[in-house]
């Protein structure tokens, strides 16, 4: 269950819409929401005051647009580099989820343009829900979980089931992309449900009372997952995104993500739906 959610305000109405959709889920209705607006450093005192006022107005607008029980909302205005502020507050509060907007910039573009979401994606150990600015937010009816042999993907499944607990108006698509299979290979429903990775996952899904569907294909995982998201009209994608850095390098970017070669980075940029990157420290 999500007990503590950090909403990183970027002024985008898309993440407001995503928060509204999440609040329809029984597991999220009692969560405590922290709305954070980072005030960038300014050269002059007048500049700081203007940005502070702008941040206050932005938070007030969110509270007006999104119906949240006042006792469950905390607002934070903090001055500093926005990307660092988000990571700091997430750690201080030990949040269960960060909701953050994303422009979907690729690789070095995001770094050169000082992308907040790219920085948080690189360095945070908390699960994060990335909502691209060019994606229409829909009520959650079709959820996809990408699975492989990694513990991270199993964590993504468990997180999805916990977040969706008690919400029956949803179908869960379990996807396995095996690079060793031919891209155009067609398997029967029975063959897909008997896949050694998907079979136990499907049993979990059914045990929780959800409708589940299995999809198995070959090809490049990132490309195929994004294709299946579009073909199946998925509303929310869960993806395991492990932190592969040793503990001594936790403050340094993951080079695979920095260069855009990781699966999670490809999907972060290309998936045509909000992406929840399931990540846990250690």
What tokens does 70 get? 């006042």
Compute the distance between CA of residue 184 and CA of residue 193 in angstroms, rounded to an integer: 18
Q: Which fold has domain 4-132?
A: Rossmann fold (3.40.50)
- Rounded to 5 degrees, φ, ψ at 223 are -65, -45
Interval 180-208: pLDDT, tens:
888 777 789 999 999 999 999 999 999 99
Mean pLDDT of all residues belonging to the chain:
85
pTM: 0.87
- Indicate if the pLDDT at residue 250 is higher than 60: no
Share of the chain above pLDDT 70, in %: 88
Choose from 43-52, 184-193, 240-249 the range with maximum mean pLDDT. Answer: 184-193
What tokens does 212 get? 């589940």
Interval 145-175: pLDDT, tens:
999 999 999 999 999 999 999 998 899 999 9
Domain 4-132 identical in fold to domain 142-278: yes
State residue 261's pLDDT score. 56
- Indicate if the pLDDT at residue 249 is higher than 50: no
- Rounded to 5 degrees, φ, ψ at 271 are -65, 135
Residue position matching structure tokens 């179908």: 171
What tokens does 77 get? 């205005």
Indicate the domain borders of the chain: 4-132, 142-278
Superfamily of domain 142-278: HUPs (3.40.50.620)
Closest by CA to 144, choosing from 218, 90, 221, 220, is 221
- Indicate if the pLDDT at residue 49 is higher than 90: no
35 — pLDDT class (breaks 50, 70, 90): very high
DSSP string, the chain: ---EEEEE--S-HHHHHHHHHHTTSTTTTT-EEEEEEEE---SSHHHHHHHHHHHHHHHHHHHHHS---GGGEEEEEEES-HHHHHHHHHHHHT-SEEEEEE----HHHHHHTT-HHHHHHHH--S-EEEEETT-----S-EEEEE--SSHHHHHHHHHHHHHHTT--S-EEEEEEEETTS-TT----HHHHHT-TTHHHHHHHHHHTT-EEEEEEEES-HHHHHHHHHHHTT-SEEEEE----S-GGGTTS--HHHHTT-SHHHHHHHH-SS-EEEE----
Q: Are 103 and 115 in contact (CB under 8 A)?
A: yes
State residue 118's pLDDT score. 79
- Indicate if the pLDDT at residue 143 is higher than 90: yes
Q: Are 145 and 160 in contact (CB under 8 A)?
A: yes
Q: Are 222 and 266 in contact (CB under 8 A)?
A: yes
């Amino acid at each position: 269950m999500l007990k503590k959610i950090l909403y990183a305000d970027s002024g985008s109405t898309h993440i407001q819409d995503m928060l509204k959709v999440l609040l329809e889920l029984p597991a999220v209705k009692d969560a405590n929401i922290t709305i954070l607006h980072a005030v960038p450093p300014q050269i002059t005192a007048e500049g700081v005051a203007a940005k502070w006022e702008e941040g206050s107005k932005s938070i007030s607008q969110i509270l007006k647009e999104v119906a949240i029980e006042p006792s469950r909302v905390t607002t934070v205005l903090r001055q500093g580099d926005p990307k660092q502020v988000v990571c700091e507050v997430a750690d201080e509060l030990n949040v269960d989820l960060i909701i953050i907007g994303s422009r979907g910039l690729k690789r070095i573009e995001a770094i050169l343009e000082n992308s907040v979401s790219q920085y948080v994606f690189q360095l945070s150990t908390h699960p994060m829900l990335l909502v691209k600015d060019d994606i229409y937010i829909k009520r959650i009816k079709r959820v996809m979980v990408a699975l492989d042999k990694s513990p991270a993907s199993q964590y993504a499944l468990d997180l999805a089931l916990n977040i969706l607990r008690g919400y029956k108006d949803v179908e869960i698509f379990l996807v396995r992309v095996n690079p060793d299979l031919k891209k155009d290979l067609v398997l029967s429903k029975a063959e897909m449900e008997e896949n050694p990775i998907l079979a136990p996952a499907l049993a979990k899904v059914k045990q929780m009372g959800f409708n589940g569907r299995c999809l198995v294909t070959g090809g490049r995982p990132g490309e195929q997952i994004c294709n299946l998201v579009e073909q199946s009209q998925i509303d929310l994608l869960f993806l395991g995104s492990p932190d592969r850095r040793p503990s001594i390098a936790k403050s340094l970017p993951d080079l695979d993500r920095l260069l855009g070669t990781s699966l999670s980075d490809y999907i972060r940029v290309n998936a045509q739906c909000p992406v929840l990157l399931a990540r846990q420290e250690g």
